[in-house]
Structure 1
Amino acid sequence: MWRGNASNQGTYRTFAIVAGLLSFFLMGLTPSAGFAFCEETGLPAERAGNSEVLGEGRETSAEDVAGKKGPTPSGPSIQELIEKLGDPDYRVRESAERELLRWGVEAYEPLLEALTHPDPEIASRARYLLRIIPTRIDAAEDSADVREMLGYYESGSPEVRQSILRILASMAKGEGWPALARLARFERQLSWAKLAALALLAAEPTDPAGRQRFAGVIRRYLGDAARSPANWPVVYLQVRQNPQEGLPRWRQLVAEEQRLLSSQQDQTNVIIVAALLCLQALLEADYCDPQTAEGTFQRFNQLLLPDHPEHLQAMVDGAVVMQARGKVDWAEAVLSRAIAEGDPRKTLRARRLLAELYYDQDKPLAAAQTLEQFLKLLQDRILAVLDMEGTTPGQLRSRMYYFYACHFKQIGSLEDHRRYLELALQQDPENIDALIARAALPDMPEEFRRETAQLIAAVQRELERLLADSSDPEQQASYLNQLAWLVGNTKGDLDKALAWAQRAVELHPENGAYWDTLAHVYYHRGELEKAVEAQSRAAELEPGSRLIRKQLDFFREALKQATPK
C-alpha cells in the first residue's frame, strides 16, 4: 500500500528524511565493543561482562548528567590530578585517584580524554576510574519510551544500538534529544559518542521554532562539554548563531577528523568524515557564497565511491539530507551518480528516492522512467539477488504507473491519464494516491463512481483496523495521516478527516506531511485561512518540496479570490 500524500511523496520519503539522515551518519561504524551501564547501579561497565562495582564513588544524579556541576573539592585541578596518575611515587598516584573520585562526574570527560594519553599508566588508571565513577544515561525527566530505548541500547548489539540512536533522534517533539546529548558526552567509547553526537545533529529541525528548541537542548546538556565529539553540536550551534565566527571552528573540526582518519582509523572512518563534510556544505549553503558551498559538496561527493556498498548507502542517505535541507540539485546529482556507478542490485533505494524527488519537483515523467529502468532490470533477471526493502515489484510498478498517469494529466492527455490510473490500481488496489486521482476523474458513469467508492471504503476499513490495533504513537500518527489524506481528498466525512489530521499533527508536530494533509482537509472544508496557515507550516518543515510550495500558492490564491474586495 502506497500510503502518502501526493504532495510529499508519502510515508516512504517522510520517514527517509530522518532515518536516511541518521543512517548516513551512523553507517559503517560498528565498534566491536560498546559502553554498557549496569542496570542496577548505573555504573559504566565493559561489554565483556565487567559490571560489578570496582570501588566507591558518588552516584551521579540526573541533574549532574544534565550538565550541572557536582561538588567542587579544593586542591589541584582535574587535569593536574590526571597527570599525577603517572607520578613515579605510588602514594601520589593513589592520592590523585582518590581526589578524582571526589570530583565525580566532573572528572568524567577529562578522564575519557585520558584514555588515549601517551603514558600507559595514566591511560590504565583513567580506564579504572571510569568504571567506578557512577553515571547514568537516563534521567528522571525521560519519558517511559526513552527509558525503554536506553535499556535496549545498554544491552544491545552494535546493530541494535545504531537503531536505538536513530529512534531517539526521530522521536516526536525532540523527546530523545537529551538522551543523545548525554550519550555524546558520557559514552566511554569514543566511536559510539561520535555516533550519538551525529545522530543529534541529524535531528535538527528545519523550522525556526524547532531550531530554537534544539538549541536549548544543546545549551543545557552540552554547553560546557569539553570533550570531542560532545562539542560538535556546540560548534554547530555557534555557526547558526554567528556564522563568521562559527564556520572557521567547524572547518577546523572537520580538518581534525580528516587528520585522525589518516592516523587513527580505529577512532573514525571515511563515512564519518563525509557526514561532517555534508553538514559543512549545507551550513555554507546557508551562510556563504554558492561557490564555497559547491566546493565542499564536491569534496563530499568525491570522497565516497559508489562501487563500495557502504559508501553507496552513505551517498544515498546524504542525498536525503540535502533534499530535506532544500538542496535538491545536490541530492539529484548524488543519487544519479549512485545509480550510474553503483551495483544495480543495491540501487533500489536510490532509484526510489530519485523517482520521488523528481515527482516532488513536478517531473512525473522522469519519476516514472526512473522506476521503469529498475523494473526492466528486474524483469530481465539481471538483478538475481535483490533486497526489495519490504516493497513488492507490484507496488513499485503501481507507483510507476501512477507517475505516468500524472504525466499524462500534466500534458492534457486525459484518456491516457485514466488508463494509467487503472494500471496502477491493478498492480496495487491500495495505492491511495491512485484512488484519490480516480475519484477525481470527471464525467464518469455512476457504476464507475460506486466501484471507486467501494475501493476507497475497503482501504479506509483496513487503515482503521491497523490504527485500532496499534499502540505505537508514531505508527498511529502515520495511519491517522493516511486516513485523513484518503477521506479528506475523496469527498468523504470531512469531520472525521479533520479529527484524524489534527490528531496526527498533535502526535508529530514536526512532520511536514501531516501539516500538508491538514491543510488539504481545511481547504476541502472551505476553511481557507486555516488551509494557508497549515500549508505554510508544511512548507517551513519541508523547504525542499516544490509541490508543497506550489500547493501553498494555490491555497493563497484561493483565499485571495474568496476575500471580499
Structure 2
Amino acid sequence: MKKAAELDPKLIRPRMDLADLYATVLGKPSEALSLYGQVLDIDPNHAGANYAYGVTLMRVGDLTKARAALETSARLAPANPLPLLALARLSLQQKELDEALILLERALTIQPTLADALELRGDIQQARRSPDKALADYSAAVLAQPDLVSAWLKQGIIQQQLGQYEEAKKSYLAAIKLDPKLSVAYNNLAWMETENRKDLEQAEVWAKKAVQLSPEIADYHDTLGWVYRARGNLKDAELSLQRATSLQHVPAAVFYHLGVVLQEMGKPQEAAVAFQKTLTLDKNYQAAQQALQRLQGR
C-alpha cells in the first residue's frame, strides 16, 4: 500500500487503506492524519476521508478540526449515521448533552437499530438520572447487537440499582459469557447474592474471580470480605478488608465494613478506629456515626 501511494500521488485507495491501518491497528494517529490529509487534498469531498480524519482528530484531542471534518462528512453522506454518531460522541466529550441527543436522534432516524448509538443515548440518559430511559436504550442495544458486552454490563448495573436483581443477574451472566475477564460483573454478582443472602457459596466464587482478575481494586476485596462475613468467616473477612484499605482509591464504605467485622470479632478499639476513618472520608456516613456512638456509649 505504501509503495502504491508513493508511485502515484493521485491514488486514493492505497492512501486510505494505509491510513486506516495506521489509525486502527498500528496506533499511529500522526501518520494516519497525514495520509487522510493527502486524500482530502486530492478530493476534499471524500466523505469517508473526512469521517476518518475527524475521528482520528478526536483521538488526538483536536476537537475543533474534528467537528469540522465530521460535519463535512455528515453533509456529504446524509444516509450514513456514523458521522452523526461520532459528532454525538464529540459533543458528549464537550459536556453538550442536549446537542449529543439531537445528533443521536438523527443517527437513529437513519438506522434505528444502530447499537452504538442506542448505547450512547443510554449513557446520556443515565448521566441525566433517567435510569428507566437508559435501561430501555441498553435493552434495545443488546437486542440489536447481542454481542455488545458493554451494553449488557450497563443494563445489569441499572437493573441492580432499580432492585431488579434477577434481571441484573441474567445481564451480568450474559456479559461474562461474552467476556470471561469482566471483573466488575463477577463483583456485582457476588455483591447481589450476598446482600440478598442467596447462594453465598457461589458468591464467594464470583468474588474471588473478581479479585483474581483485578487485584488492584479495593471494592473487589471489600466485596470478598463481605461475602466471608456473610458466611461466618470473620478472620478471612478481616484479612480481605484490611487488604482493601491498603490499596488506592478506597471508598469510605470499605472502612465501615472493616469496622463492622472488627466489632463482631470483639475488637472494639480497632473497630472505633475504622469507623473514625470512615467519617474522615465521609463525615455524613450515618451508619458509621451510629456505630461509633454505640461503641463510645453515647
TM-score by length of 1: 0.31
Alpha-carbon distance in 1 for matches of 2:158, 2:295: 36
Distance in 2 (CA, whole Å) between partners of 1:427 and 1:399 is 9
Aligned-residue offset at 1:33? 2.0
Separation in 1 of the partners of 2:116 and 2:216?
22
Whether 1:423 aligns to 2:212 is no
Tell me the equivalent position of 1:229: 101
Q: Distance in 1 between matches of 2:90 and 2:223?
A: 36
Indicate which of 34, 54, 64 corresponds to 2:58: 34
Which structure features the higher share of helix residues?
A: 2
Q: Which residue of 2 aligns with 1:352?
A: 187
TM alignment of 1:198-209, pairs within 5 A: 200=97
- 2:190/2:223 contact within 8 Å kept: no
The alpha-carbon deviation at position 455 of structure 1 amounts to 1.3
Letter in 2 for 1:271: D
SS in 1 for 2:270: helix
Give the aligned partner of residue 535 of structure 1: none
2:290 pairs with 1:488:
yes
Counterparts of residues 117-516 of structure 1 (less than 5 Å): 117-118=75-76, 189-194=87-92, 200=97, 229-230=101-102, 255-256=108-109, 258=111, 261=114, 270-276=115-121, 282-283=132-133, 299-305=140-146, 311-339=148-176, 341-345=177-181, 347-360=182-195, 363-366=196-199, 369-373=202-206, 375=208, 386-391=213-218, 395-405=222-232, 420-429=233-242, 432-433=256-257, 435-436=259-260, 439=263, 449=266, 452-460=267-275, 462-463=277-278, 467=280, 478-482=281-285, 484-490=286-292, 491-492=294-295
For residues 387-438 of structure 1, what are the alpha-carbon distances to aligned partners after superposition, in whole Å with 9 as ceiling and x for unaligned?
A: 3352397555423202324xxxxxxxxxxxxxx2233114334653353256
> 1: distance between equivalents of 2:210 and 2:65?
48
1:163 counterpart residue number: none
Q: Which of structure 1's runs of 4+ aligned residues deviate more than 6 A? A: 35-38, 277-281
Are the counterparts in 1 of residues 87 and 103 from structure 2 also a CA contact under 8 Å?
A: no
CA contact (8 A) 2:207 2:220 kept: no
Taking the aligned partners of 1:489 and 1:427, their CA distance within structure 2 comes to 21
Instruction: Give how far 1:366 is off.
Output: 2.7
Distance 1:114 1:228, change over 3 A: farther
Tell me the matched-pair count.
Answer: 222
The gaps in structure 2 that reach 5 residues or longer are 1-53, 78-85, 246-253
CA deviations on 1:80-127 (whole Å, 9 max, x unpaired) are xxxxxxxxxxxxxxxxxxxxxxxxxxxxxxxx96663349xxxxxxxx
Scaled by the length of structure 2, what TM-score is found?
0.53
Higher relative contact order (CA 8 A, sep 6+): 1
Q: Residues 316, 116 of structure 1: CA spacing in aligned structure 2 closer, same or farther, 3 A cutoff?
A: closer
> In the alignment, which residue of structure 2 is the partner of 1:546?
none
Taking the aligned partners of 1:400 and 1:300, their CA distance within structure 2 comes to: 33
Note closer, same or farther for the CA distance 1:376–1:350 as it changes in structure 2 (3 Å cut): closer
Alpha-carbon contact 2:194-2:230 (below 8 Å) kept: yes
Once residues 366 and 348 of structure 1 are traced to their aligned partners in structure 2, the CA distance between those partners, rounded to angstroms, is: 19
Which amino acid letter does the alignment assign opposite residue 344 of structure 1? P
Query: Against the structure 1 CA distance between its residues 344 and 492, is the aligned structure 2 distance closer, same or farther, given a 3 Å change threshold?
Result: same
Query: Considering only aligned residues, what root-mean-square deviation do their CA atoms show, in Å?
Result: 5.0
Deviation at 1:256, TM superposition (A): 1.7
C-alpha distance in 2 between matches for 1:427 and 1:390: 12
Between the two proteins, what is the percent identity of the paired residues? 12
The alpha-carbon deviation at position 338 of structure 1 amounts to 1.6
